[in-house]
Copies of this chain bind each other. A is one copy, B any other.
Amino acid sequence: MRKAIVSLAVFAIAAAPPPPPTPQVRSPGDAVKAAPAGDWIEIPASDLLVMDLAGGKRVVIQLAPQFAPVHVANIRAMARSGYWSKATIYRVVDNWVTQWGLGDGPFPAPPGVVARPPEEYQRSAAGLTLMPMGSPDPYSAMAAYSDGWPVAMQVGGTVNATYCYGAVGVARDAAPDTGNSSELFAVIGSTARRLDRNYALVGRVIDGMENLSALPRGTAEMGVYAKNQVATPITAVRIAADMPAAQRPRFEYLRTGSPAFADYVQLASHRADYGVPSPGAALCAVPVPVRKKTS
């Protein structure tokens, strides 16, 4: 019986007609590859938070001062003062967030840190260049991109940064406290957009995401690591601009106002390269292309 099945399978393979010529269906990656060099914008070194972990691993976060200027100023001040020199990654919740910092304190913040920043959960659209994303967004009136970031415009005209995979937010106890950015989290799951407009979004992971997402999940309450689990030590947290120039990591993103980006969004929203194209896509499923800058 087994032999018959095997023979049948072999026959089926042998008898299968050669595949038809593959039509030239372009993928989103094709659009990115075709973008001219001038469409890539380097991220300022002052906006790169470089977090080194035990074991020689590194996470690089692009900060978002245009959405949370006071929180980002706090983060820069803490990084420059060595505030996080004994910080760890101490909480990991599956399909939700990975969180780090000093944990339960009090740990007096360094000079210049605003103890109680404003909410910074959303902002005026004034001064932003919005490119509509084109698919319906359950979380807003309109999904869009603005200067390299996925954003949402709400009824009333405010704009907020969005909790896509890799987004970095500020942990806090309870409203109206917004946290001071000493404890941060990154989204490692698929359901975090309900945090939009409720937690300050200060950046996004642009490199080393797997060093946050593949960690063991915490087994104590709220996904905090239990006593028999080992929190990952954070060995250094620096702003790239404070590092020697030759050591700074450098990244660039595809200009969200460019024709190449519009082409990419169109292709990524309908993925004809997979077979049946979807009518649209989620904002978070069409991330802004970011790459290491090599020259």
Contact = CB atoms under 8 A, between A and B. Distances in A.
A140 interface: yes
Given A109-B9, A190-B284, A274-B198, A217 B214 contact: yes
A243 interface: no
A185 interface: no
A113 interface: yes
A271 interface: yes
A276 interface: yes
B196 A278 contact: yes
B213 A215 contact: no
A154 B92 CA distance: 36
Interface string A97-116: 00000000010111101011
A138 B278 contact: yes
A209 B93 CA distance: 11
Interface string A197-232: 110000000000110011111000000000000000
A192 B108 CA distance: 43
Given A165-B95, A190-B189, A281-B139, A109 B5 contact: yes
B279 A209 contact: no
> What 6 A-B pairs are tightest by C-beta distance, nearest first?
A190-B190, A138-B280, A136-B136, A191-B285, A135-B138, A198-B275
